[in-house]
Amino acid sequence: MRHIIWDMGGTLVDTYPEVDRVLCEAAFGDAAPEHLRHVTGLTRHSIAHAIATLSDEQRLDPEALEAAYADLKERWRTRPAPVMDGAREVMARVSELGGLNLVATHRDRTSATALLQGLHLEMDDVVCAPDGVARKPSPDMNLLLAQRHNLDPAEVLCVGDRPIDVVAAREAGMPAALLVRPGTTVTLPDDAPGALVVASLRDLLPLLD
């Protein structure tokens, strides 16, 4: 495989620790381990799901949680979340092979651009769902990137941190790799078999040729 379509938050950029803490403090007023574990489980489904669930459970106006998340994204403009360990090495290898590093993200373009610029990550193209492309597990973002660059789907590895990334890759006819934190148990959807599950992005290096 020569090209990678990267998911952004939780895959290319290690955003979740800060998101989890901000939402936990907004919902519970603290970052107690049991509260943080609960929030972590919710955000791994999606941030929107976490905000909706926490606002319902804690009888909070969801706008309060949305404001806390918006404030975090604003802080990322000057103090961005860190690049995921191993990501720069994998991106460099893709570029050495003449491949493309692409991004398919649910993040809005302003936020995505600010993060990439703040981290000095130069991507070959970025597709953002809020621009009008169907969100994962739809394959539309992956297919759009392949069409733009005339790529053979079999040569494009989709890398994400959630099962919906695997489904989106499968529906686009592309191989998938699922990044999980060590010790995490992941259940892949029945209709998305065959994904490579990795605990480090460096595990992707042998796949690139």
Summarize pLDDT for 102-160 with one digit per residue, the tens.
Answer: 999 999 999 899 899 999 999 999 999 999 999 999 999 999 999 999 999 999 999 99
- Mean pLDDT estimate for the chain: 92
Residue 186 pLDDT: 54
Residue 169 tokens, joined: 């890759």
* Strand blocks (E) in the chain: 3-6, 101-105, 125-128, 156-160, 176-179, 196-198
The answer on pLDDT for 64 being more than 60 is yes
Percent of the chain with pLDDT over 90: 81
The answer on pLDDT for 65 being more than 50 is yes
* Strand blocks (E) in 34-141: 101-105, 125-128
Residue 153 tokens, joined: 């789907």
Q: What whole-number distance in Å separates Cα of residue 126 and Cα of residue 208? A: 21
Better-predicted residue by pLDDT, 205 or 180:
205
Cβ of 124: how many Cβ atoms within 10 Å?
A: 17
Q: What whole-number distance in Å separates Cα of residue 151 and Cα of residue 142? A: 10
Residue 202 tokens, joined: 């460096």
Residue 191 pLDDT: 47
- Total-model pTM: 0.88
Better-predicted residue by pLDDT, 192 or 30:
30
Q: What whole-number distance in Å separates Cα of residue 36 and Cα of residue 129? A: 28
The answer on pLDDT for 75 being more than 60 is yes
Sign of CA dihedral 193, 194, 195, 198: positive
Under a CB-based contact definition with an 8 Å cutoff, are residues 192 and 38 in contact? Answer: no
163-183 pLDDT, tens digit per residue, is: 899 999 999 999 999 998 755
Q: Please, which residues have CB within 8 angstroms of residue 62's CB and are 6 or more apart in sequence? A: 51, 52, 55
